Amino acid sequence: MTYIAKPRLRHPNLKANKFGFTHRDYEGAVSTLCAGCGHDSISSAIIQACFELNLPPHRIAKLSGIGCSSKTPTYFLGNSHGFNSVHGRMPSVLTGANLANRDLIYLGISGDGDSASIGLGQFAHSVRRGVNMVYIVENNGVYGLTKGQFSATADRGSKSKKGAYNRDAAVDMVMLAMELGATYVARGFAGDKAQLVPLIKGAIAHRGAAFIDCISPCIAFNNHPGSTKGFDYVREHNEAVNRLDVMLPREAITVDYQPGEVEEVTQHDGSVLALRKLADDYDVHDRIAAMHHLQKSKAAGEIVTGVLHVDPEPDDLHANLNTLPTPFNKLAEKELCPGSTALDKFNAAHR
C-alpha cells in the first residue's frame, strides 16, 4: 500500500506512440497491493503491451472478478472501460459484453482462486465457446487476501509459508485451456517482462479465445523455499519453448533471424507473431503433441513457458453464431425488433 499518488511528472524523453501517448498514459491508479506483488508486474506488462500496440484506451474493456488479481484493473488502463464483477463470474459478464459490442478488445483479468475454484465452470465455458478475449490468470497458488491458504493451482507437495504440505492435486489451467479448445495458449512469468509483454501483445492480436497463465509470485505468502511459485523456484525451473516477437500490421520486420529459425503466424488484423524456437521438438500448432510435451515436462518438474499453442485459423463466438458484423449495441430498435408480422411468420414456420 502506498500513500502518495504516483507523481504526474514523467521522463522528458519518453517515447510516444501513434496517438502521442506515452506508456504513462496507459496507467491507472496507484496499486494498493503488497509491495513487490507479481500482479503489479503483470499490470505493468499490460500497460506496455497496449502502449506498444497503439491501442486507443477507449476501445478496451477490462473485466474481473474478486481477489487480489481482480483488483488490478484499477491499476492499469485508467481511461478504459472496466467492470469488476462477482467472484468467478467474470467470464460470463465478459461473454455478454462481447456479444453486445464485438468491437472492443476484452481483457479478462482473473486469479487462480477466481478461475480455478469458484469460477472454474465459467472459465471452461467461455473458453470452449471461443469468446474473442484475452483471459489472463494471475496465478500465485495461494489465497493472498485470506492470508495464504493453498489455492486449487498449488502443486501437490508444495509447502505453505507455515510449513504445511499441499496434499491435493493441482488444476493445470494451461492443460484445461488446451483441452477446451483455446486457440492461443501461453504461459508467462511476472518476473520476466521481456517474455510477458509479447505474450500479451500476441494474445490481443489473436481473434479468438486467448488464454495466458501467468505465474505471479505472492510476496507475502508464497515466495519461500518450499513454494513452487516463488521467484527463485520459477527462475530455476523455467523452460521457455520459444521467444515471441509481435510485429504490428505494415510494420517493417526488424528482427533479423536465420532462415528456418523463426515461424511467422499472421493474425487476422495483419500483425505477425514471429516465434523463435528454443525447444527443437516443440510445435505450437500441433495441439496434441504440445499437450504431450507439457505433461512430460511437468512430470520432470519443469515449468514450460512461452507460446504453447496457437491456431493460425481460429474461430470465435461470433463466427460460430453467425452474428452480424455490426455490434448489437449499434443496431437500432427497428433492426433488433423486426415487428409482429415477422414474428407471426417465424412462429408459423414452427407450427
Partner 1 sequence: MKPTDIAVPDYFHKVVDCQWACPAHTPVPEYIRLIAAGRFDDAYMINWTSNVFPGILGRTCDRPCEPACRRGRVEEQNLQKAEPVAICRLKRVAADSKGDISKYLPMTPSQKNGKRIACVGAGPASLTVARDLAPLGYEVTVFDQDPRAGGMIRSQIPRFRLPEQIIDEEVGYVIDRCVTFRGGVRINSMKKLLDEGYDAIFVGTGAPRGRDLDIPGRKEAGKNIHVGIDWLSSVSFGHISKIGKRVIVLGGGNTAMDCCRTSRRLGGTDVKVIVRSGFDEMKASPWEKEDAMHEGIPILNFLVPKEFVHDSGKLAGVVLEKVEAVYDAHGRRTLVPTGEPDEQFECDDVLIAVGQENAFSWIERDCGIEFNDREMPVVDETTFQSSLPSVLFGGDAAFGPKNIIWAVAHGHEAAISIDRLCNGEDTRNRPSPMVNLISQKMGIHEWTYDNDISNELRHKVPLREQKIALKDINVEVELGFDQKLAFDEAQRCLNCDVQTVFSSPLCIECDACVDICPMDCITFTEDGEEQELRERLSAPAPNLSQDLYVAGALKTGRVMVKDEDVCLHCGLCAERCPTGAWDMRKFLLNMTHAGPGCRSRK
Supply the minimum distance, in Å, between the C-beta of residue 224 and partner 1.
11
Q: Which is nearer to partner 1, 15 or 18 (CB)?
A: 15
Question: Closest distance between partner 1 and the C-beta of residue 229, in Å?
Answer: 13
Q: Which grid cell sits at 124?
A: 471452461
Closer of 8 and 351 to partner 1 (Cβ): 8
Choose between 144 and 208: whose C-beta lies nearer to partner 1.
144
For 198, list phi and psi in degrees, rounded to 5: -60, -35
* Contact by Cβ (8 Å): 199, 141: no
* Cell numbers at 62, concatenated: 477490462
CB of 193 to partner 1, least distance (A): 7
Q: In the complex, what is the shortest distance from the CB of residue 206 to partner 1, in angstroms, rounded to a whole number?
A: 25
Measured distance CA(199)–CA(244) in Å, rounded = 7
Q: Count how many Cα atoms sit within 13 Å of the Cα of residue 15 in the half-sphere of its side chain.
A: 6
CA distances from 115 to 102, 125, 203, 285, 291 (A): 23, 11, 18, 25, 20
| Residue with Cβ nearer partner 1 (9 or 336) | 9
Record the cell numbers describing residue 305, joined without a space. Answer: 513457458
User: Quick one: which of 102, 91, 18 has its CA closest to 59?
Assistant: 102
Least Å distance, CB 44 to partner 1, is 4
Within 8 A by CB and 6+ apart from 210, the residues are 133, 134, 135, 182, 183, 184, 185, 186, 202, 203, 204
Nearer to partner 1, 91 or 188 (CB): 188
CB of 35 to partner 1, least distance (A): 4
In whole angstroms, how close is the CB of 106 to partner 1 at the nearest point? 24
- By beta-carbon proximity to partner 1, the closer residue of 37 and 152 is 37
How does 252-291 read in b/e, with b if 16+ C-beta sit within 10 Å? eeeeeeeeeebbebebeeebbbbbebeeeebbbeebeebb
Distance, in Å, from the CA atom of 185 to the CA atom of 306, rounded to the nearest integer, reads 9
Q: Interface with partner 1 by CB under 8 A: which residues?
A: 1-14, 24, 30-31, 34-38, 40-41, 43-44, 190-191, 193, 217, 219, 223, 231-232, 235
Please, which residue, 232 or 344, has the CB nearer to partner 1? 232
- CA dist 136 and 200 (Å) reads 9
Q: Minimum distance between the CB of residue 221 and partner 1, rounded to whole angstroms?
A: 12
Residue pointed to by grid coordinates 498514459 = 25
- Of 30 and 171, which has the nearer Cβ to partner 1? 30
